[in-house]
Amino acid sequence: MNFAGLHLDLTYPHVMGILNITPDSFSDGGELLCDNGRVDIDKSLRRAEQMCKDGASFLDLGGESTRPGAQTVSLQQEIDRVLPVIEAIRNNLDICISVDTSSPELMQAAIEAGAGLINDVRALQKDNALRVLAQSSVPVCLMHMQGEPGTMQEQPVYEDVLGEVLSFLEARVDACRQAGISEERIIIDPGFGFGKDLNHNLELLNRLSEFKQLELPLLVGMSRKRMLGAVTGRPEKDRKAAGIAAAVLALMQGASIIRTHDVAETHDAMKLFQALRAQSLKSI
């Protein structure tokens, strides 16, 4: 897949490092901001450089938290947080910059600044989002979310969580096609933790291989999430081992991209997975 001139083979798995430029993200909020609330460009670039060294193929930049109960920010705030970091990374590192946003205005500005992927938790449902992506050549990740970040975890209900998530993603892929966005530019994400309780998340993880029927690259993000805490009893910063275990389970079922805070450890686990897969192919 072509990410703004950077070609990556998604038949092999890749790591996406999380770079939250927010004061309130659930695990790392505020870490890349100055005392006055502005983005610390130097600190953001150092974090990006380390993730690149640790094995990330993508950096996912977010200027608005989408954690449960998150407050919305203005469009200008989101743009002011994200664009300078895109420019700094683009000028210093050879890595795909993904932008985690639902705002068509930021999508447009990010693409013009050199972003190679748009990662939208609302799957291009906002007005003009489809048009912006259709007029570009940049790929998009479509994610499933029931409800909105502020209220999505209050009482999520499904009759058939896998079937409903699959149906939603199929409908959004079809909307992309009709808008002129080819399937060669689409990645899908079942949206762990977005309007789903523990049992919903565990069922999706247990049946993740069934997303192969869509014949599209699959992005999975479970790093440090509440579902891991519910299983292990550990706080956000102590969920690294569980996150790596979840990542390996996802890789075994065909995930193409693992989105994580813990890049080095996840990349090591991925290398072991790839070595075992290569050994299996040799024995066929």
Q: Is 259 designated active site?
A: yes
Please report the pLDDT score of residue 26 as a whole number: 47
**Helix 198-206 vs helix 161-179: crossing angle, to nearest 10:** 70
pLDDT per 10-residue tile (average), the chain, 284 residues? 96 94 57 66 90 97 74 83 93 96 96 97 96 97 84 78 97 98 98 94 97 97 95 94 97 97 97 91 72
CB atoms within 10 A of CB 18: 25
Residue 39 DSSP symbol:
B
Q: Is 131 designated active site?
A: no
How many Cα atoms occupy the beta-carbon half-sphere of 188 within 13 Å?
25
Catalytic residue among 47, 224, 225, 239: 225
Distance, in Å, from the CA atom of 239 to the CA atom of 148, rounded to the nearest integer, reads 25
Distance, in Å, from the CA atom of 120 to the CA atom of 104, rounded to the nearest integer, reads 10
Cβ pair 246, 204 in contact under 8 A: no
Amino acid identity at 180 = G
Please report the pLDDT score of residue 39 as a whole number: 76
Cα-to-chain-centroid distance, residue 189 = 8
Please report the pLDDT score of residue 280 as a whole number: 81
Beta pairing partners, 220: 258
Q: Is 42 exposed, middle or buried (0-12, 13-18, 19+ CB in 10 A)?
A: exposed
Token reading at 239 = 């969920």
- The enclosing H or E element of 162 equals helix 161-179
Q: Is 217 exposed, middle or buried (0-12, 13-18, 19+ CB in 10 A)?
A: buried
Cα-to-chain-centroid distance, residue 245 = 18
CATH code for the domain in which residue 173 is found: 3.20.20.20
Catalytic residue among 47, 196, 239, 259: 259
Cβ pair 263, 55 in contact under 8 A: yes
Assign 128 to helix, strand or coil: coil
Beta pairing partners, 63: none
Residue 207 DSSP symbol:
T
Cβ pair 244, 224 in contact under 8 A: no
Distance, in Å, from the CA atom of 254 to the CA atom of 210, rounded to the nearest integer, reads 9
Number of domains observed in the structure of the chain: 1
Domain around 263: 2-282
Task: Record the pTM.
Answer: 0.92
Distance, in Å, from the CA atom of 109 to the CA atom of 79, rounded to the nearest integer, reads 8
Distance, in Å, from the CA atom of 260 to the CA atom of 169, rounded to the nearest integer, reads 22
